[in-house]
A and B are shown apart, each in its own frame.
Chain A
Amino acid sequence: MDTFTFQSYEDIRQIEHIIDTGTPFFEDELQQTSQGVILSPLFHYIITFFTLFLGLNFALTLIPALALATIPVIVYFFAKKAIKEDLPSILAALLTLSVPSYFMIGANTVSPHTLLIPLLLLATYFFSRLGEGSKFLYLALASLFVSTFIHPATIVLCLGLILYLIIIRAQNFRETSREPEVVLSLFFFLTWFNLLLYRDALSFHGFNLLRGNTPSSYLDTIYPILTLQGLIDGVGILPLILGLISAYLVFVESKRKTASLLISLILILIVFLQLRLIPYVLGTATIGFFCSVLGVYSISYFYKKSEELKIKYAQIGFIVLLVILTAGLGSIHVEKSNTSSMQAPTTADVEAYNFLQNISQNNSVIITLPFEANSMTHLSGKTHIINTNFLLTHNANTIVDDTQRAYSIRFLTDLLQITESHDVTHILLSETNQLRNNITSLAIDNPECLPLIYNETAKIYEIQCSLVNR
């Protein structure tokens, strides 16, 4: 079986559970510290449906990739709606390939984000065409409601639409009455549905729910502080520049309703990124795609300007330059994401998981770092302490600190305090962990209490002492 990214295994476990039992699991029996799992399973059911025809592995690989592949197509139609010209729209669709976050979501990822982003784009596209007939009203409502069932990030879209309504009123655009109606319906539906779904998590975590109860050690990874460099690294220099130029053109030269919609959404996403309320990859990818659509105005502008230049082949030159830049940047991002060896379990890691699978000890609990917990559990069937879904986990900060300290702690007593408080039986030091943290073994060398039972590139230690015995 191909390996997927570490984050994918959480969803893969749910999909396999649905295949086996018909429902997802809401209690993770293979996680030591969880009080339950909160899930909106529509994405998982969609993948499960395709496994009936394609088989599990193929469905897991193909469907998310196909969903992501629709993004340039949606961007093309969206851009064509905005500018009503073919060639700039095609170039705008091409621009999506220079969005770095597109590749960070990447191949071999099984995640609701892969379906959410195309749906958000589609919903925005249909929303922009609300005045053209009731067909688009139904399509907009359908895509908005479906995306609500996939991921709560649809709230960001709703707030963006509210901002859009304020902006068009301020700019005295003629608004259709459908727009406020759709936004109101969406807002109240979103509110009710997400409050219902996250009821337990809200009473557990309060406002920490907005960041998924992410511990401080993971906060900078998933919700980093937004800087200009970070924005460029995520959105892409080309979409960002073309988007900015378009925003200038739209506000200064000729006001466009569709552009106002895109700008509202981009602004809201930036605010959410700045407040660290939306994951970096999801936020910047969505901004990148909206910027690609918005960029069509500047592409069209420069294309027309190049016509006026008295240089032969200026227009073709412009197109070629844009394509080279896009393709060049795109290939750099592909190369970066391919050479990053730390997004998915390595072969050595998988071999270690297989070894764990053969441990006959009942109730084995394995310490791993949170990012690799689900992959370990999925491939070995053993219990982990904590994974990267921190909802309904009390003291997530402390538990994550414990799992991280276990590898660097120097005193056996302190290590045994950690392992005993979580009933740990083994410690896994995977190759990925070694590469990320620049270590080759545990800091403690005590073959009596921590014998090395698996010593390949990855290492597995068994706990054979307890504090009481000592």
Chain B
Amino acid sequence: MTWYKKHKYILIALLFSFLTITAFQLLFYADSPNAYAGDESYLHLRLIDSFQDTNSYLVDDLQDRTISYSLTLHVLSLLPMSNPIYYRFAFLLLSLLLVFLAYIIFKELDVDDKTRFYSLLLIIFNPIYLYTSTSINTVTLSMVFLLACFYFTLKKNSIFILLYVLALLSNFLLTVLFTPFLSYWIYNKGFKLYQNVLPYFFAGIYALTPLIKLSQLLTLHPDTFQDVLVYFNFSQGYSITFLALSIVGLVYMWRRDKKHALLYTYVFFLFTSSILYSDTRILAILLLSGFASKALLHLYEAKWEFIDLKYITLTFIVAGLLFSSLVFYDNEKSSPSPELIQAMQELESQTSGLILSVERNGHVLSYVANMPVFIDEHSYKYESYEDKKNFLNDVFSERRSNPVQELLRDAGIQYIVIDSTMLEGEVWNSEREGLLFVIRFSDDISVLIENEEVTVYSVDY
């Protein structure tokens, strides 16, 4: 049988996913070439630019803080990309490679054709996979290295060690959580003991170097449990339908075959970690997709007493899976708005100064305006986070001019950015609340840039 006939499912899946993702990308990014999926993309783009200028990979110059090393960002900073939009295609290709690697690994593990095919479909339409393929993140390259590492482990090729180290340099947390699983297979495939110890050794050594800021990596986001599901406006969230299918698949497999208890334990452990650390979710869905596809196949092939109910149920399952993909695109489409981008592009030409706005705008503002922001979505990793949150509450709710001026002066705020979401209940419910009241009657805070959605104020001292 020719190769393409033998692998026709994977080819169809790859082609389909490529067309789907690129079509969506082109469609909804078409009118805003500067808009990227995920706020984190803006942070990484800014860091790539910064690395190109300063050659310092452990410092976020603009925000004046230290960061952990990332091989992904280092490599991207070395690539001659004239337009940042090309990074998007690089991640798209990497994510397709991810799917291909998942396929050949399933094949290596003797997973049957149909399960493999459905697993790939469940992966491709998963919001977490869509996120890794459409955003500029530190997870995708790491996953490629990890899956390649796993594949070569299965092939009993020692090159897996090199790939493991590369994965470690790309994303430390993800790689460390994958290590027990890898270690099990290293042992099963008959490698020598020292080869099993090496991954732990490298991870341990790396953790002790100044390249990794463990305290930052392990700090949980204050809204940790609010980002578990994609419906909570978080692009790297799980889909309930996918999770339900995974549970059904796990129970089904457990009942049929109890000898892989260790695997089920690891899956449970990984899923629990992924609730706390969103970077590990792509790994979790790759594993869970196997079980989810088993569940889907079992539901489809089982003999139901009420056959119409079977098709109705399968329809709702597919509807649920597609719905979560649509929710992902809905989340991405709504943030950030072209008006915010446009206002920040205008602000870029002004004198550099500290910008005050809500946390969610932080990365976009700092990237487009090329100015430091008071608080962004990574501020929680640093010690001053609680103080900054309290400051925001105080400033936004204060109606008296003098205290507001004092607060702004002490923090060194030069610009205030207010968008429509902040006015529609996120911060204020009416035009005369808190800081809005002060701005109305203050001579020291004046409008600098204004459009339909965003107003930028300049603070004079």
**Which A residues form the contact surface with B (CB < 8 A)?**
32-33, 35, 134, 137, 141, 176-178, 181-182, 184-185, 187-189, 191-192, 195-196, 199, 202-203, 206-207, 393-395, 399, 417, 420-423, 468
Closest chain-B Cβ to A169's Cβ sits at a distance in Å of 10
Instruction: Indicate if the CB atoms of A185 and B312 lie closer than 8 Å.
Output: yes
B110 at the interface (CB under 8 A from A): no
Chain B residues with CB below 8 A from A192, complex form: 241, 316, 319-320, 323
Q: How many A-B residue pairs have CB under 8 A?
A: 89
Chain B residues with CB below 8 A from A134, complex form: 306
Given B248, B309, B430, which contacts A422 in the complex, CB threshold below 8 Å? B430
**Which B residues form the contact surface with A (CB < 8 A)?**
223, 225-226, 229, 231-233, 240-241, 244, 248, 299, 304-306, 309-310, 312-313, 316-317, 319-320, 323, 327, 331, 399, 424-426, 429-430, 432-433, 437, 441
Closest chain-A Cβ to B291's Cβ sits at a distance in Å of 16
Chain A residues with CB below 8 A from B241, complex form: 188, 191-192
Instruction: Indicate if the CB atoms of B309 and A185 lie closer than 8 Å.
Output: yes
Closest chain-B Cβ to A283's Cβ sits at a distance in Å of 23
Interface of A is mostly: helix
Given B225, B299, B430, B433, which contacts A207 in the complex, CB threshold below 8 Å? B225
Instruction: Indicate if the CB atoms of A181 and B305 lie closer than 8 Å.
Output: yes
Chain B residues with CB below 8 A from A421, complex form: 429-430, 432-433
Separation of A195 and B325 alpha carbons in the complex (Å): 13
Instruction: Indicate if the CB atoms of A206 and B327 lie closer than 8 Å.
Output: no
Task: Pull 21 A–B residue pairs with CB atoms less than 8 Å apart, ordered by A.
Answer: A32-B429, A35-B425, A178-B306, A181-B305, A185-B316, A188-B241, A191-B241, A192-B241, A195-B231, A195-B240, A195-B320, A202-B231, A202-B233, A203-B231, A207-B226, A394-B426, A395-B425, A395-B429, A420-B432, A421-B430, A423-B430
Chain B residues with CB below 8 A from A141, complex form: 309
Q: A191-B241, A195-B231, A202-B231 are in contact. Are A184 and B306 (CB under 8 A)?
A: no
Q: A191-B244, A395-B429 are in contact. Are A199 and B306 (CB under 8 A)?
A: no
Closest chain-B Cβ to A288's Cβ sits at a distance in Å of 31
Closest chain-A Cβ to B3's Cβ sits at a distance in Å of 38
Separation of A206 and B226 alpha carbons in the complex (Å): 6
Separation of A134 and B309 alpha carbons in the complex (Å): 12
Closest chain-B Cβ to A131's Cβ sits at a distance in Å of 10
Q: A189-B312, A203-B233, A206-B232 are in contact. List 20 more A-B contacts (CB 8 A).
A: A35-B425, A176-B305, A181-B304, A185-B309, A185-B312, A188-B244, A188-B316, A191-B316, A191-B320, A192-B241, A192-B323, A202-B229, A206-B233, A207-B225, A394-B426, A394-B429, A395-B425, A420-B432, A421-B432, A422-B429
Chain A residues with CB below 8 A from B323, complex form: 192, 195-196
Instruction: Indicate if the CB atoms of A35 and B433 lie closer than 8 Å.
Output: no
Chain B residues with CB below 8 A from A181, complex form: 304-306, 309-310, 313
Given B317, B424, B441, which contacts A35 in the complex, CB threshold below 8 Å? B424
Chain A residues with CB below 8 A from B304, complex form: 177, 181
Separation of A32 and B246 alpha carbons in the complex (Å): 44
Closest chain-A Cβ to B330's Cβ sits at a distance in Å of 8
Separation of A207 and B231 alpha carbons in the complex (Å): 10
